[in-house]
A and B are shown apart, each in its own frame.
Chain A
Amino acid sequence: MRIFSLLLVLAALLPGATPPRAQLPAAPEVASYQMDVRLDPAAKTVSGTGRITYRNPSTDTLDELWLRLYLKAFSSTDSLWIEESGGQLRGDQLDPDNLGNIDLQSLTLAGSDLLASATLTDTLLRVPLDTPLGPGQAVELEATWVSTLPRVFARTGYGGRDDTFFMVGQWYPKMAVYDRGRWDTEPWHGNSEFFNDFGSYDVAITVPQEYVVAGAGVPAGETTNADGTKLVRFLATSVTDFAFAASPDFKTASTKAGDVAVDLFYMPEHQSAVQEYLDSAAGTLTTLGQWFGAYPHPRLTVVDVPDDASGAGGMEYPTFITTDYGGGVAGYAAYVTSHEVAHQWWPMQTATNEGAEPWLDEGLTEYSGARYIADASYLIGGALGVSARSLERTTYLALDPAQPANLPAWQYSGGEYGIVYSKTALGLWTLENQVGSERFRAAMRAYLDAWRFKHPQAADFRRAIEQSLGPQPWFFDAYIPTEGVIDYAVGNIGGSQATVLREGQVPAPVEVVLVLENGARETQTWDGAGETLTITASSPIAQVQIDPAAKLVAEIDIADNTVAIRPPFLPTLTLAERLVFWFQSFAQLVGLFG
Chain B
Amino acid sequence: MLIDLRAVFIAGLRDAARLRLALPLYIAGLLLGLVQSWPVLFSASNGQLGRINAERLLTSGDALVDLLTNQEATAATGIWLLLMPLLSLLFSACYNLFSGGILSVWDGRRSFWAGGWHFFLAFTALGLLLVVLALVALGVGSAVAVALGPMVGAGISFVLLQLLNLTGEYARAIGVTQNLRNPFALFGHAATYITRRPAALLLGLLGLALHAALVAIYLTILPLFGASPLVMLFNQLLVFAWLWLKLLRLAWARSLVAVGQASVQPSSAAEPAASAPALS
Contacts and interface: CB of A to CB of B under 8 A. Distances in A.
Interface of A: 272, 328, 386-387, 389-390, 393-394, 397, 543, 545, 548, 550, 557-568, 570-581, 583-588, 590-594
Given A581-B235, A581-B236, A588-B239, A562 B53 contact: yes
Contacts of B16: none
B134 A593 contact: yes
Interface string B57-87: 1101111011101100100000010001101
A561 B168 CA distance: 50
B130 A594 contact: yes
B42 to A, nearest CB: 11
B38 interface: yes
Contacts of A389: 62
Nearest to B149: A272
9 contacts: A272-B150, A328-B150, A559-B73, A571-B227, A574-B58, A579-B40, A579-B41, A585-B239, A588-B91
B110 interface: no
A587 B88 contact: yes
Contact of B41 (A570, A575, A588): A575
Nearest to A574: B229
B246 A592 contact: yes
B92 interface: yes
A592 B95 contact: yes
A578 B58 contact: yes
Contact of B232 (A386, A567, A568, A573): A573
Interface string B204-218: 000000000000000
A594 B137 CA distance: 14
Bin chain B's interface residue count. 35 or more
A545 B53 contact: yes
B55 A576 contact: no
Nearest to A568: B54
A36 B151 CA distance: 44
A568 B45 CA distance: 14
A584 B33 contact: yes
Given A574-B232, A577-B232, A588-B239, A593 B55 contact: no
Contacts of A558: 63, 66-67, 69-70
Nearest to B55: A571
Contacts of B229: 570-571, 573-574
A562 B88 contact: no
B57 A575 contact: yes
A578 B52 CA distance: 14
B50 A567 contact: yes
Given A550-B63, A558-B66, A585-B239, 14 more contacts: A393-B69, A545-B53, A557-B70, A559-B66, A570-B229, A571-B54, A571-B58, A572-B49, A574-B229, A577-B232, A584-B30, A587-B32, A592-B246, A594-B164
Given A328-B150, A578-B58, A593-B168, A559 B95 contact: no
B179 interface: no
A594 B167 contact: yes
Interface in B126-170: 126-127, 130-131, 134, 149-151, 161, 164-165, 167-169
A594 B159 CA distance: 14
Contacts of A550: 56, 60, 62-63, 66
Given A389-B62, A571-B227, A573-B232, A591 B95 contact: yes
Interface in B104-130: 126-127, 130
Task: Report the 3 A-B pairs with minimum CB-CB distance, sorted nearest first.
Answer: A594-B168, A580-B33, A571-B54
Given A557-B70, A583-B33, A567 B242 contact: no
A567 B37 contact: no
Nearest to A388: B62
Contacts of B54: 567-568, 571-572, 574-575
B226 to A, nearest CB: 11
Contacts, number: 172
A161 B227 CA distance: 52
A585 B92 CA distance: 13
Contacts of B61: 386-387, 390
Contacts of B239: 581, 584-585, 588
Contacts of B60: 550
Contacts of A557: 69-70
Contact of B38 (A562, A576, A588): A576
B92 A591 contact: yes
B178 interface: no
Contacts of A565: 50
Nearest to A562: B53
A591 B66 contact: no
Contacts of B92: 587, 590-593
B29 A584 contact: yes
B50 A566 contact: yes
A571 B50 CA distance: 11
Contact of A580 (B37, B88, B134): B37
B41 A594 contact: no
Given A394-B65, A550-B56, A574-B54, A593 B127 contact: yes
Given A559-B67, A581-B33, A272 B151 contact: yes
A574 B52 CA distance: 13
Residue picked from A545, A550, A563, A572, most chain B C-beta under 10 Å: A572
Contacts of B130: 593-594
Interface in B9-38: 29-30, 32-34, 36-38
Contact of B53 (A272, A397, A561, A583): A561
A574 B69 contact: no
B275 to A, nearest CB: 24
Given A545-B53, A574-B227, A583 B84 contact: yes
B150 A567 contact: no
Contacts of A394: 65, 69
A188 B74 CA distance: 41
Contacts of A581: 33, 235-236, 239
B6 interface: no
Contacts of B243: 588, 592
Contacts of A272: 149-151
